[in-house]
Structure 1
Amino acid sequence: MNDLDENGWGHVHHAAFRGFIKSVERFIAADPLQLELETGDDLQSTPFLLAVTSGNKESVKCLLGLGAKINAVNTQNQGAVEICALKHFIELLEFFIEYNDDKLPVWKNLFKFLTSETEEEVEAAGKCLRTMTQGSEADGVNPNWEQVYKNGGVPIMVKVIKMSNVGEEARIPTIKTLLNVIPQAEVKQQLVNCGSIPVFIKQLKSEHMLTVQLAAKILKELATVKDYANLAAQNSAIPALLNVIKTVKNEDVLVEAVEGLGNIAEASEVHQTTIGGTSGAVESIVALFEDCVFKPLLMALTKAIRQIANKIQQNQNAFINARTTHHVVLLTKGRHRDLQIQAVEAIHSLAEDNAYTQKSILDDRADIMLMQMLKKSRVEMLLERTAVALWALAGDSYDRQKSMAEGIGVPQLIEFLNSVMEQLHFIGSEGLGVLAQGPSNLQAVIGQASGILPMVRHLRSDKEYIVLSVIRTLRYLCVGVAYVPNVKNQGAISHARGIRFLVALLVHSQNELIQVESALTLAGVALGNEAILAEIQKNIDFSYVRILKMMYVKDEMVRLLAGASLAMFAYNNMSQQREIAAQGGVRFNCLVPFLQSDDEFFRCNAAFQVVVLARIIPDEEQANSSAVGIKLLTDLLQDSQSDTILALAADCLARLAHTRAGVPNAIIAVDTVDLLCNLLSSPTEQVRGCAAIALGYLSHNHVGERQLLKRCRCNPYLMKVLQRYTNKGKLSASFEEGWQHYKRVGLPTIEEGRINLVAPHADPLQEATLRPDTNISTEDADKSSNQRSSTSNLQLAEDGSLTGRSSRASRTSRLTNGMSVLSLQNSNSGSQASQLSVNAIVPEASTKHIAAEY
């Protein structure tokens, strides 16, 4: 029975190898020494090792059950684990792991085998480890990652990759094993701690493309952690990856290199700037789009563009100059949803907060494609990304935002509010807010489309940026240019319990800006509406004291808006003025810093506030404070180069033009009619419309009517603009009669080269020259700008002759010669200090002349 054949095998060896379990049991029962009987060949294997070699698990179980040595090895120092590795018997290895015998530490033996000096053994061990750590999409990372981590496998594998005596083919399974376990944070940390980053950066120079691909993939995964991305950048990963992008043609390799570069860029603005500033980097990335149809590479490229360009203007500009938009826009036309999303996000990243790139992308008509996607898409994620990209393209330009909002449409914007996506809530609110503003607003359309209720619901959002946007939009829906209230929308907000939510935000919000914006919107909802004002004041939490206290906080914007809310509550409402005064009143010194500010927005708002609140400012004479405000608003009309400020100043004057007696006289006394008429030629609709509405109210003043008629007689186009924006009876009947008389007498023709008011939201700089009299147009933007800054524009004098427009000094000088003085309600409480503040804002002579007319 112990006899060996010519190959050195006995009967027990053959039985164990072939899986004849009963024979094995019978042989060993007859002679227990046969359990460890070694073969007579060079390997000197035991029956147990032969069972392992054949991969027969039942035979292995039988021999272990009979007491065979589990840690037996052959003459080549190969035990059960090593034999399984060479044969790639994964199932048997997993059996030994489950058997859990301390004499056979499977994982340690595998890693020891991995460090062999023989390429065959290194490769075999690597392949087994790769298979045993392979995860799945459904289950994620294989739980065996923990055994790799605990048994020190990561440093061992990095050491193997560094070994120069092992070929690249043999090392590849080891790298793949690392990729299987690298998603775990502990593994990433262990990789970095053992100095793997320089190792893999070196592998990027390999001639073996699969090695380069896997090394780039390792670096890509490590770069998802900011600290590790920084280490990679410090070890020159950026130029190494760029070199791969520039020199390699293999698309699979390029995918990993581009994604790795993108992840490093995303970790830090410094890395973004480094990549963008590297000569030829952007051009090399964009060049990969040419003739590329490989979707993974297209995905990687568009994602990398987003990561590299995000909020870095020089990178945004570089990508646009490299004609990236053309390629990205083409990708939005495809049917691959993930690729569409990446392309849309790239457009957003290129356009965000960059007027130059926004214009360039719009020139490539990207907005048309995005708008089509918006209309067709039913996938909320794509819908959200597309809307965000469109809004980024709109930028800070009111006209462009309005054009985008009109393109999306009121129903779609309201749908955004009803979506589950937070970004859509914000864009829906912002879009409706833009449409609710200006001289050609859609307040009524939004109200009729039931857009107010979903906005009121979002007052309860836990996202402050959404709450702020909704608060402002609700205000815009209630108050038009010149403080004209929309009673229906005010009522809708009240019925939707919006008053209660706004008061709650005013009282309980931890954000001061939300508090003050809520106060301002409450004032807008109550403007000219006694019923809603009574509802607000019935709320026990509401008090003007809360708003007055905000005028003393540190944040200057909060202080400014607190004054704005008080001014709106007090606007044309004597009872509320008395109430504010009784609860503490407003001090002139609170407004002086804004009146003296270098910021035109602050000056404009404070100037309006000081006129409206003049009666309840105890530390300054009413006439003086009103004169200061009017003078500052008029100066802004003449001096500002910002369309936003010009529109705001004109709007403020429109509000003041139908407030208390004497104010219109004071406004007209400083050539405001002339300045507003100049703005009717502005290429910006917001400026034209606000100026026209202000002039409409001033036409109810006899002097203002006469001045306006003279300007319209010289330039009939101005009347066309007035009629477009004052079609609700804002022009006085007397002015209309005077104009009809001029029409009968005869008027000059309207010059060519003016902006088309029939399509007012078109880009005025792109409008073609239009026919006189049929299309309504204005002079070009340069001529309009010159009119505002010139001190010698021609106007018709009272005797019919043409004269130059007066400068500020000559206007105030005329006030002393020919203004009728109205009786004023003087206050003797103004202190010397506050009077000095007034004189510091506007010269004393100017305020005296304006006050006298007022």
Structure 2
Amino acid sequence: MGDMNETGWSDVHTCAAMGYTKSIEKFVENDRSLLEQETADHLRQTPLLVAVSRGQKEAVSCLIHLGAKVNVTNSHNHGVIEICALKEFIFLLRYFISLDLPDLPVWRHLLQMLGSDVDKEIAAAGKCLKALTQESDELKLAWISFLNNGGVPAIIKVARNSVQDHVKIPALETLVNLIDRSEIQKALVTSGGIPAFLALLKSTNLQVVQISTQILRELSRVPDFCENLVQNQAISHFLKVLHSTRDSDILVPVIESLGNLAQSSQKLQATVGSFPGLVACLVSLFDTNGHPALILALTHAVSKIVVKDKGNQSAFVNGGVTRQIVNVVMIHLRHREIQMLENGANRLLMQMLKRSRAEFLQEKIAMALWALAGDSCETKREMANDIGVQILIEFVNSKSKELHFIGSEGLGVLAQGPLSQQEVIARANGVHPLVQLIRTSHEHIVLSVIRALRYLCLGVGYIPHEQNQQTVLQSGGVPILVALLAHSTNEVIRAEAAYTLASVSLGFKETLDEINQNLDFSYVRILKMLYSSQPLVQLTAGSALACFAYNSLHQQREIAIQGGVRLDCFLPFLKSAEEFYRCLAAYQVVILSRVISDEIQALSSATGIKLLVDLLKDSKSEEILALAADCVARLSHTRAGVPAAIVAVNAVDYLSTLLLSKSEQVRGNAAIALGYLSHDHKAERLILHRCRNDPYLMKVIKFYTKRLRLATTFTEGWQHYRKVGLPPIGAGRPSLVHSRSHRNNNQPLITNLHLEENGSIAQSDSTVNEEGDLICRSSRTDTP
């Protein structure tokens, strides 16, 4: 049995190579020394090493079970792990990992192979690590073992190694598999990975460059790492890449990285925008042959670089970014339309969008326009208004996920604010297709649609739009939203679904009954989210509970029965330096004060009201002022005593001052809040006094409260003041009806440009008379 044949093998070696487990067991039972018998050839292998080298898993398992040593090596100093790596036996490596034997540290051996001076061994180890770190049921926690065994420093060492770049690729791809994990990212940065991968951008191997850009893009998504990237000359490296290649697989992550750097802080936004040659390079990348993914990356990056930075905005405009975006779609247009693009590129882009019914062309134009709108809610609203409700609904009904998102976002912003277009969207049948779109598999679209439906059903001051609520119910939206609340794996979606369910059912008993009858619905699901690790999930869950509880003693009792809430959930937000957190939490504690078990109702209400009014007084943010005014508007028609408490802390004075704001959202929300407060006798006197001294304030209130019923005594008091006589309205007050293009001059306030079939340009100008009515006139000019 132990005798060697002419090849230097005994019978036990042959059985191991062939996988004859029964024979192996018999041989070892007769002579246990055969377990470690080495071959007499140049490799000097034990039966276990022979079985491994032939990929005989059952023989390997049998030999280990019989007691074979697992840490033996052959004459090349290769053990079982090294042999598996060189032969790429991933199934055996997974088997050894599952055994978790102390004498066989799989990860450590593979990572040690990466430090070899033999190219073949480095590449083999990299390929195995890449395969083992890909997501699989067997190795869901592989990244932990990789990290704990020093995997990240080992990969960085390979990146810096002087071996040929193609040898590095499998090891670098291992890091790509894991780079989305924060622990891996942190280890990479602390181990000096940023300069190592920036250096690889100089490689002549395009695959190495592509992998490096993917890794750097993931790091740039973490604001804490962005300063480190910039300090290591990342912008300069990125710019050189942009100049050196036209490969979209490389350009896209580089461009996205630049956008992420700009988004991380105002300081880095200015640094990116002012970097010599960068703006010109980005603008030049908008070309007629651009890849769709490249165009999308460019438009998003430009949006991040220019948002709220006037210097960067000017740099891009002066660099001709609008003209380049036009060039993206020019190849698809008729010649005579090309001749018309001497001026007004933005406006004509909009006309191109409305004229074309080719989805590919619509998608490109819409993405460019939406990116240029930036992140400001007001500029997005202006852009959505220019696109038009009907086209936005067409986007929602299209087959393009990019158009789905833009359509949903556009309808969502139009449904918000004091001049909401909820009614226009309802008449255009825009709610039903949004409900159907919730079923999409793309989470960012699901979130956008859920929020859009909320805005369509609930306006400023928590005024329900009954027709849109009815449409959501009839379109089957309630069971879909309940299912998302109960079963979505995304906690943000669960919280947003809960909030929208509350909005759809506010004041609408039929919908509320359907929600409560659904077996998957429970307030406990929402209450649990108050203890989430994500602050925005906590606040959204609080908003959902507050909306369900709004002016409903029955729902408040149900929330209390199913657990209620504790003030502890809100205290961190009430004390937060973030005004947004304080504002939402302050409103929530007032509404939920009856179900807060560990605080006296009056105290929690007083705390919340005081915080909201302080924000009206002190905040410098238009977004926060608009939100705080909206919250006050909601509270002003809730339970008895709350309006009086609001008035007692000088809210009327602060809201009246906000009527002069340049922001329509601030101005309108403040007007609506004052409209509700007019039903409080003390507030009525205070508002009338302010308006008597400045009649413009009353114009603002009336302009934004056309859908509300002001107190009768308030309107009668104002009529009396008009008869007695009022001072004239001073100049320089914000215009209540204006357009983006004529905001700062005396030209007609609204201009509509459209292309006639004969190639001429027809223009209609609109202005507004003293009573707020639109007066239109038209003209026509020949094609230049």
Contact 1:752 1:772 in 2 (8 A): no
Describe the superposition over 1:169-189 as per-residue Cα deviations: whole angstroms up to 9, x where unpaired: xxxxxxxxxxxxxxxxxxxxx
CA distance 1:619–1:313, change in 2 (3 Å) = same
What are the residue-to-residue correspondences of 1:304-315 with 2, within 5 Å? 306=298, 313=305
Please identify, of 445-454 and 314-323, the stretch whose mean Cα deviation from structure 2 is larger: 314-323
Q: 2:385 aligns with which of 406, 419, 430?
A: 406
Taking the aligned partners of 1:629 and 1:774, their CA distance within structure 2 comes to 40
Q: In the TM superposition, what is the alpha-carbon distance from 1:382 to its structure 2 partner?
A: 2.2
Partner of 2:536 in structure 1?
Answer: 557
**1:542 and 2:527 are equivalent in the alignment:** no
Partner of 1:633 in structure 2?
Answer: 612
CA distance 1:689–1:281, change in 2 (3 Å) = closer
Taking the aligned partners of 2:731 and 2:213, their CA distance within structure 1 comes to 64
Taking the aligned partners of 1:230 and 1:473, their CA distance within structure 2 comes to 34
Q: 1:332 aligns with which of 316, 319, 326?
A: 326
Partner of 2:92 in structure 1?
Answer: none
Q: 1:497 aligns with which of 454, 476, 479?
A: 476
Contact 2:296 2:367 in 1 (8 A): no
Taking the aligned partners of 1:600 and 1:371, their CA distance within structure 2 comes to 36
Contact 2:303 2:373 in 1 (8 A): no
Of structures 1 and 2, the one scoring higher in RCO (CA 8 A, sep 6+) is 1
CA distance 1:613–1:240, change in 2 (3 Å) = closer
What are the residue-to-residue correspondences of 1:245-260 with 2, within 5 Å? 259-260=245-246
Taking the aligned partners of 1:240 and 1:668, their CA distance within structure 2 comes to 58
CA distance 1:763–1:591, change in 2 (3 Å) = farther
Taking the aligned partners of 2:306 and 2:669, their CA distance within structure 1 comes to 37
Q: In the TM superposition, what is the alpha-carbon distance from 1:444 to its structure 2 partner?
A: 1.5
Partner of 1:226 in structure 2?
Answer: 211
Taking the aligned partners of 1:308 and 1:386, their CA distance within structure 2 comes to 13
Q: In the TM superposition, what is the alpha-carbon distance from 1:543 to its structure 2 partner?
A: 1.0
Q: In the TM superposition, what is the alpha-carbon distance from 1:371 to its structure 2 partner?
A: 1.1
Please identify, of 521-530 and 262-271, the stretch whose mean Cα deviation from structure 2 is larger: 262-271
CA distance 1:311–1:227, change in 2 (3 Å) = farther
What are the residue-to-residue correspondences of 1:154-193 with 2, within 5 Å? 193=166
Q: In the TM superposition, what is the alpha-carbon distance from 1:311 to its structure 2 partner?
A: 7.8
What SS does structure 1 have at the residue aligned with 2:320?
Answer: helix
Q: In the TM superposition, what is the alpha-carbon distance from 1:227 to its structure 2 partner?
A: 4.7
Contact 1:699 1:705 in 2 (8 A): yes
Taking the aligned partners of 2:316 and 2:435, their CA distance within structure 1 comes to 45
Contact 1:436 1:477 in 2 (8 A): yes
Partner of 2:723 in structure 1?
Answer: 744
What is the aligned-residue identity percentage? 48
What SS does structure 2 have at the residue aligned with 1:483?
Answer: coil
Contact 1:673 1:704 in 2 (8 A): yes
Contact 1:756 1:776 in 2 (8 A): no
Q: In the TM superposition, what is the alpha-carbon distance from 1:306 to its structure 2 partner?
A: 3.6
Q: 1:588 aligns with which of 567, 581, 595?
A: 567
Contact 2:742 2:748 in 1 (8 A): no
Contact 1:720 1:776 in 2 (8 A): no
Contact 1:438 1:690 in 2 (8 A): yes
Q: In the TM superposition, what is the alpha-carbon distance from 1:730 to its structure 2 partner?
A: 2.5
Partner of 2:548 in structure 1?
Answer: 569
Taking the aligned partners of 2:273 and 2:248, their CA distance within structure 1 comes to 15
Contact 2:165 2:208 in 1 (8 A): no
Contact 1:754 1:769 in 2 (8 A): no
Q: In the TM superposition, what is the alpha-carbon distance from 1:287 to its structure 2 partner?
A: 11
Taking the aligned partners of 2:390 and 2:703, their CA distance within structure 1 comes to 26
Q: In the TM superposition, what is the alpha-carbon distance from 1:411 to its structure 2 partner?
A: 0.8
Taking the aligned partners of 2:280 and 2:573, their CA distance within structure 1 comes to 51
Contact 1:398 1:434 in 2 (8 A): yes
Taking the aligned partners of 1:277 and 1:495, their CA distance within structure 2 comes to 49
Please identify, of 678-687 and 389-398, the stretch whose mean Cα deviation from structure 2 is larger: 389-398
Q: In the TM superposition, what is the alpha-carbon distance from 1:279 to its structure 2 partner?
A: 8.5
Contact 1:432 1:473 in 2 (8 A): yes
Contact 2:363 2:402 in 1 (8 A): yes
What are the residue-to-residue correspondences of 1:143-292 with 2, within 5 Å? 193=166, 225-227=210-212, 259-260=245-246, 265-266=251-252, 268=254, 281-282=277-278
Describe the superposition over 1:477-525 as per-residue Cα deviations: whole angstroms up to 9, x where unpaired: 1111111111111111000110000000000101111111111111001
Taking the aligned partners of 2:277 and 2:768, their CA distance within structure 1 comes to 52
Contact 1:223 1:260 in 2 (8 A): no
**1:418 and 2:397 are equivalent in the alignment:** yes
**1:774 and 2:753 are equivalent in the alignment:** no
Q: 2:315 aligns with which of 318, 321, 332?
A: 321
Q: In the TM superposition, what is the alpha-carbon distance from 1:399 to its structure 2 partner?
A: 1.6
Contact 2:300 2:371 in 1 (8 A): no
For residue 399 of structure 2, what is the amino acid of its counterpart? V
Taking the aligned partners of 2:502 and 2:331, their CA distance within structure 1 comes to 46
Q: In the TM superposition, what is the alpha-carbon distance from 1:328 to its structure 2 partner?
A: 5.3
CA distance 1:762–1:668, change in 2 (3 Å) = farther
Partner of 1:369 in structure 2?
Answer: 348
**1:488 and 2:488 are equivalent in the alignment:** no
Taking the aligned partners of 1:320 and 1:445, their CA distance within structure 2 comes to 35
For residue 371 of structure 1, what is the amino acid of its counterpart? M
Q: 1:733 aligns with which of 712, 717, 724?
A: 712
CA distance 1:483–1:263, change in 2 (3 Å) = closer
What SS does structure 1 have at the residue aligned with 2:480?
Answer: helix
Describe the superposition over 1:111-140 as per-residue Cα deviations: whole angstroms up to 9, x where unpaired: xxxxxxxxxxxxxxxxxxxxxxxxxxxxxx
Q: In the TM superposition, what is the alpha-carbon distance from 1:226 to its structure 2 partner?
A: 3.0
Taking the aligned partners of 1:622 and 1:558, their CA distance within structure 2 comes to 24
Q: In the TM superposition, what is the alpha-carbon distance from 1:693 to its structure 2 partner?
A: 0.8
Q: Which has the larger radius of gyration?
A: 1
Describe the superposition over 1:412-469 as per-residue Cα deviations: whole angstroms up to 9, x where unpaired: 0110011111011111111111111111111112122111111111111111111111
Describe the superposition over 1:50-96 as per-residue Cα deviations: whole angstroms up to 9, x where unpaired: xxxxxxxxxxxxxxxxxxxxxxxxxxxxxxxxxxxxxxxxxxxxxxx
Partner of 1:701 in structure 2?
Answer: 680
5+ long unaligned stretches in structure 2: 1-162, 169-202, 217-232, 262-267, 335-342, 750-766, 774-784
What SS does structure 1 have at the residue aligned with 2:469?
Answer: helix
What SS does structure 2 have at the residue aligned with 1:731?
Answer: coil
Taking the aligned partners of 1:308 and 1:610, their CA distance within structure 2 comes to 38
Contact 1:433 1:477 in 2 (8 A): yes
What SS does structure 2 have at the residue aligned with 1:603?
Answer: helix
What SS does structure 1 have at the residue aligned with 2:438?
Answer: helix
CA distance 1:767–1:654, change in 2 (3 Å) = farther
What are the residue-to-residue correspondences of 1:415-564 with 2, within 5 Å? 415-564=394-543
Give TM-score scaled by structure 2 length. 0.60
Partner of 1:38 in structure 2?
Answer: none
Please identify, of 594-603 and 742-751, the stretch whose mean Cα deviation from structure 2 is larger: 594-603
CA distance 1:735–1:263, change in 2 (3 Å) = same
What SS does structure 2 have at the residue aligned with 1:481?
Answer: coil
Taking the aligned partners of 1:220 and 1:278, their CA distance within structure 2 comes to 30
Taking the aligned partners of 1:558 and 1:701, their CA distance within structure 2 comes to 35
What are the residue-to-residue correspondences of 1:61-210 with 2, within 5 Å? 193=166
**1:617 and 2:602 are equivalent in the alignment:** no
Describe the superposition over 1:520-539 as per-residue Cα deviations: whole angstroms up to 9, x where unpaired: 11100110111211111111
For residue 726 of structure 1, what is the amino acid of its counterpart? T
Taking the aligned partners of 1:652 and 1:372, their CA distance within structure 2 comes to 38
CA distance 1:745–1:416, change in 2 (3 Å) = same
* Alignment coverage as a number of residue pairs: 526
Taking the aligned partners of 1:699 and 1:693, their CA distance within structure 2 comes to 10
Describe the superposition over 1:239-272 as per-residue Cα deviations: whole angstroms up to 9, x where unpaired: 99999x9xxxxxxxxxx97644877554547996
